[in-house]
Structure 1
Amino acid sequence: MDNLAILLATYNSEKFLRQQLDSLLNQSYTDWKLYIRDDGSKDKTLEIVNEYIQRDDRLYLLHDEVKGRGAKNSFLWLLEQTDSSYTMFCDHDDVWFPEKIEVTLKHMLEMEQIYPTFPVVVHTDLEVTDPELKTISPSFWEYTRLNAIVNNMRIIPVNNVVTGCTMLINKKAKEVSFPVHPDALMHDSWITLRVLSNKGIVSALPRATIFYRQHGANTLGAIKYNNSLSHRLANLKRSVALNIQIYRIANFTVGYNIFKYLKYKVLCLHAIMNYTRTNS
């Protein structure tokens, strides 16, 4: 069993992949292994991956005959294939700060001292950047107003605050994450909900550990908080469909009925609006 596994899902990743892999090789904490799954890239992704595998024996490319799994299922497939005390998730287009693993693992070990038998998720803030790594916002949580709710365990099931590329989970968190419901939105929100539904701990570390690159092709990305009426009306149809899906998963995992879901959704919006007024 590995001490710490990093899971990397790639797909046509040649543009930014070298910078991300270099940031992993430059980590202050070195006792890790990187497991990579490619989703059928048609560019030079695999050429780059194999080049780095030759450079460092901590990197492994895992073969999967199924292609087109997408980001969520790629990460969950990797999680099933690996056996480690701790697991992190790595997006192909970001850049990790040199101390990312070290500070996140330190916080995890502190949580496990307090909660030794619990499933635990640790996650951090991010620095939002443009494609050239120029800062858009030093805090993703501030940029999206997640600061208002990031520590509220009752609101998290209706508004996920955990960003997958900052997550560190312990083995107990992995064990409660399977099987996966077919309606799960993303691996990060699913694992978080399963940890909460098993009376686990979700702990937010209030420091950025990653350059979170925004380039127009992100599977998900940093969307600046916007409370204007025109914005809400333009996104109404998508918002309704998304909330139906979030409700179904919240009901399945943490047992929120429709009334509890709506209650915490309203409290979430109220907290964000109050935070915005106070910090404008």
Structure 2
Amino acid sequence: MGTYNGERYVEEQLRTILEQSLQPAEILVSDDGSTDSTLDVVQKVAATTSVPIRVHQNVETLGFADNFMRAAERAVSEIIAFSDQDDRWLPRKLQAGLEALDRESAVLSTHRVRFIDGDGQIVPPERRSEPGLDVIEPLGGSPWGNFYGFTMMFRASLLERLPTSERGMDVHSLTKPLSHDRWIYFLATTFGRTVILKEVLAEYRQHSGQLYGGEVGRSLKQRIATKLATGRSQSLGLAAVATYRADLLETRSDDKLAQAAADRWRELAAYLTDSAKLYDDDLDRLQRLGVLTAAIRSRAYRPLEHGGLGRDRLAEDAVILAAKLLRRRS
């Protein structure tokens, strides 16, 4: 659990962890410099349970991503689950996640959530809980995908695959290190099977004091407006991330999955570099059409899970092309 000024909700979250049908081997609390009573609350809860609660206070503020990764590296169990300080876990979360890992010989399990507000009331529409699961085979996940960190249960051996310190930049903010959940997603979908449970196993609290909120979908129109404004730099930035990941994976020359993933990221980097040309103002109409046509012929827009840019990106780039042509005429 990563904490930072979480006094309001951290006791409730800890209680839901301690009330699991499968008790955790330990709870690691990594505090990133709280100035409120968060740690006092944690110690109060620790005094009421036989489950070991280990607390580490960072000497300097690390930021949420490094705080979580440092905590994970201190874990002694073979299975690790991330926890935020302000959510609520449902009683079967740990048991269902572990059973899915073992049954499917997976390296990561995740699950559905429902949203609650600051007072713990369900935010409509309520997410449905269903039996069953989906499985993502190695290299079968979306390159840019992710799951909520607090839904993740994963094998600690994933952390040995590649150095956490070399995880590179975040895909949404190229000046910051990759977030802990995106790093684990990258490792898991590269080196093993991922299980997605359809069961709702946690409640994701939405409140004004949280660092990040829930999922807010953007319409195609909104995405197009953003692309027109930042599309070239965004494409080239993602291409840089893809190239970095290819280079990193190639250091694992003894691992066939790593080499296959490196080829996939190298190809994706080439697609992104080419698609950035759509935003060049000095290209004429035929040159722009040529860029898009060449990308389609090379299957650059094949599904994300197959290593392409995806059909949504094709729709965006096609509209971008049309918008650029219209602007040039006017």
Q: TM-score, structure 1 length as denominator?
A: 0.77
* Bigger RCO (CA 8 Å, 6+ sep): 1
Aligned equivalent of 1:188: 181
Structure 1: 5+ residue stretches without partners: 1-7, 142-148, 274-280
**Counterpart amino acid of 2:114?**
E
Residue 252 (structure 2) pairs with residue 267 (structure 1): no
**Counterpart amino acid of 1:224?**
V
**Counterpart amino acid of 1:172?**
S
Separation in structure 2 between the aligned mates of residue 239 and residue 101 of structure 1, nearest angstrom: 41
Deviation at 1:98, TM superposition (A): 0.9
The structure richer in strand per residue is 1
Give the stretch that moved more between structures: 85-94 or 229-238: 229-238
Deviation at 1:94, TM superposition (A): 0.4
**Counterpart amino acid of 1:156?**
S
Per-residue CA deviation, residues 121-149 of structure 1 (Å, 9 max, x unaligned), is: 111111122222222243399xxxxxxx9
Deviation at 1:269, TM superposition (A): 2.5
Equivalent residue for 1:224, pick from 192, 216, 221: 216
Separation in structure 1 between the aligned mates of residue 314 and residue 148 of structure 2, nearest angstrom: 20
Deviation at 1:174, TM superposition (A): 2.7
Deviation at 1:238, TM superposition (A): 7.3
Residue 167 (structure 2) pairs with residue 179 (structure 1): no
Separation in structure 1 between the aligned mates of residue 38 and residue 236 of structure 2, nearest angstrom: 36
Equivalent residue for 1:82, pick from 75, 78, 83: 75
Separation in structure 2 between the aligned mates of residue 240 and residue 126 of structure 1, nearest angstrom: 35
Secondary structure in structure 2 of the residue aligned to 1:91: coil
> Do the aligned residues in 1 keep the contact of 2:18 with 2:24 (CA within 8 Å)?
no
Residue 166 (structure 2) pairs with residue 123 (structure 1): no
Count of aligned residue pairs for this structure pair = 251
Residue 143 (structure 2) pairs with residue 157 (structure 1): yes
Structure 1 residues 49 and 34: CA distance shift in structure 2, 3 A: same
Give the stretch that moved more between structures: 39-48 or 217-226: 217-226
**Counterpart amino acid of 1:15?**
R
Structure 2: 5+ residue stretches without partners: 170-176, 250-260, 273-299, 317-330
Q: TM-score, structure 2 length as denominator?
A: 0.66
Equivalent residue for 1:138, pick from 95, 109, 126: 126
> Do the aligned residues in 1 keep the contact of 2:12 with 2:88 (CA within 8 Å)?
yes
Equivalent residue for 2:2, pick from 9, 14, 23: 9
> Do the aligned residues in 1 keep the contact of 2:20 with 2:93 (CA within 8 Å)?
yes
Structure 1 residues 34 and 151: CA distance shift in structure 2, 3 A: same
Secondary structure in structure 1 of the residue aligned to 2:216: coil
Residues 202-221 of structure 1 aligned to structure 2 (within 5 Å): 202-221=194-213
Give the stretch that moved more between structures: 206-215 or 229-238: 229-238
Identity of aligned residues (%): 22
Structure 1 residues 236 and 27: CA distance shift in structure 2, 3 A: farther
Structure 1 residues 52 and 232: CA distance shift in structure 2, 3 A: farther
Secondary structure in structure 1 of the residue aligned to 2:142: coil
Give the stretch that moved more between structures: 31-40 or 254-263: 254-263
Residue 40 (structure 2) pairs with residue 47 (structure 1): yes
> Do the aligned residues in 1 keep the contact of 2:135 with 2:193 (CA within 8 Å)?
no
